[in-house]
Amino acid sequence: MSYLAEVCLPVKAYFGHAYEVCQDVDYLFVPRIVSAAKGQYTCPEIISLPDMLRSNILKLPKMIEITVDLRKDWRSLYHAVAGGGGIFNVGKIASLYAWHQAWRMGQVQNYLPTAKKEGLSIGLIGHPYIIYDRQISMNVLDKLGNLGVNVVTPDMVEVYKAQNSAACLDKEIFWCYCSHLVGAALALMHPAQVNGLILMSSFSCGPDSLIGEIIKGRAQTLNIPFMLLTIDEHMAEAGFVTRLEAFIDMLERRTQL
């Protein structure tokens, strides 16, 4: 039985995943990621994932809920790793080694910048759990690739560049990844490295509703085309493709002028 309502699409997908595996496992790993950087939070829905799971899925297996909160204390990650290992009677050193292995794998799998081809390039701004998920994003990366444009994602923008660009905002953004998203978008626009920007956001995403406005405002001043694509579970593919095509047609016409 589930009452899940009004949350964003990625959280719904998360629930789907959790529901599918929860009957077949002894433990469910649901870390509570409160913050991944000093002075910042992840979004409230991410913070409350373990609680929402517990309230909406009956017969949950045992949950491994470790809290990572780097907002005030950078050692929180160490405590989380060591504590997580402790649940399985693994020592601190071994836990840290396992974490290090996992971290290295993560580095390898990051989306690497591809060699730049001729033609238009588009900045695709969005949370990684949206734009890299084929189902949620309707495979937007491949679709844009097939349309013959180079796609730049926020991960391809160096962190220090994004931070420098974000520093010109009136107030630091207090959502961890959003801060990078805005910084990356601003860095791509000034100096202009892309012909247009697409912000892909899920319906009812709180942080994106405000940072979208910041990016849109800046794009307007710099005269860079900007499109907001809002996704939810009712989205149909045809409408989605039409909008991408129209946007690219418009960019092509702009370059010919």
Partner 1 sequence: MIVTFPHMGTMHITLKALFTDLGLAVLSPPPITKKTMDIGAKYAPEMACLPFKITLGNFIEALEAGADTIITCGGVGPCRLGYYAQVQKNILKELGFEFELIAIEPNIIQVLKILYRLTPGKSWKEVYAAFRLAGAKMTALDSIEGKISNIRPREKVSGRADLLWQQSVKEIEAVQNISDVQALVGGYNEKLNKVELKWDYEPLRIGIVGEIYVMLEPFANQDIVRQLGKMGVEVHKTMFLTDYVRVHLQRSRQYYNAYQQIVDLAKPYLGHYVGGHAIKSIGCTVEMSKAGFDGIIQVFPFACMPETIAKNILPKVSKEVNMPLLSLAFDEQSGEAGVLTRLEAFIDLLQYRRSKKIVQ
60 counts as binding partner 1 under rule CB under 8 A: no
Please choose, from the candidates 104, 144, 125, the residue with its C-alpha nearest in 3D space to the C-alpha of residue 193. Answer: 125
When the beta carbons of 139 and 204 are compared against partner 1, the nearer one is 204
Q: Which of 14, 30, 41, 95 binds partner 1 (CB under 8 A)?
A: 41
CA–CA dist 125, 182 (Å, integer): 8
169 counts as binding partner 1 under rule CB under 8 A: yes
7 counts as binding partner 1 under rule CB under 8 A: yes
Residue located via tokens 């496992």: 25
171 counts as binding partner 1 under rule CB under 8 A: yes
Query: Cα 175–176–180 angle (5° rounding)?
Result: 105
Positions in 96-155 near partner 1 (CB under 8 A): none
Positions in 67-96 near partner 1 (CB under 8 A): 67
14 counts as binding partner 1 under rule CB under 8 A: no
How crowded is the C-beta side of 222, counted as CA atoms within 13 Å?
22
Residue located via tokens 């805005």: 182
Site string for partner 1, 198-237 (x = CB under 8 A): ---x-xxxxxxxx-xxx--x------------x-------
CA–CA dist 126, 110 (Å, integer): 15
Question: What's at 220, amino acid-wise?
Answer: Q
When the beta carbons of 3 and 20 are compared against partner 1, the nearer one is 3
CA–CA dist 5, 122 (Å, integer): 33
Residues 6 or more apart in contact with residue 207 via CB below 8 angstroms: 43, 173, 175, 178
Using an 8 Å Cβ cutoff, are 125 and 198 in contact? Answer: yes
**Least distance (Å) between residue 114 CB and partner 1:** 32
Residue 162 host element (H or E): helix 159-166
Using an 8 Å Cβ cutoff, are 71 and 41 in contact? Answer: yes
**Least distance (Å) between residue 111 CB and partner 1:** 26
Query: Cα 65–233–56 angle (5° rounding)?
Result: 35
Q: Which of 13, 19, 48, 87 binds partner 1 (CB under 8 A)?
A: 48
**Least distance (Å) between residue 158 CB and partner 1:** 25
**Least distance (Å) between residue 170 CB and partner 1:** 5
19 counts as binding partner 1 under rule CB under 8 A: no
**Least distance (Å) between residue 172 CB and partner 1:** 10
Residues at the contact surface with partner 1, assessed by CB under 8 A: 3-7, 32, 34, 39-45, 47-48, 50-52, 54-56, 65, 67, 169-171, 173-175, 201, 203-210, 212-214, 217, 230
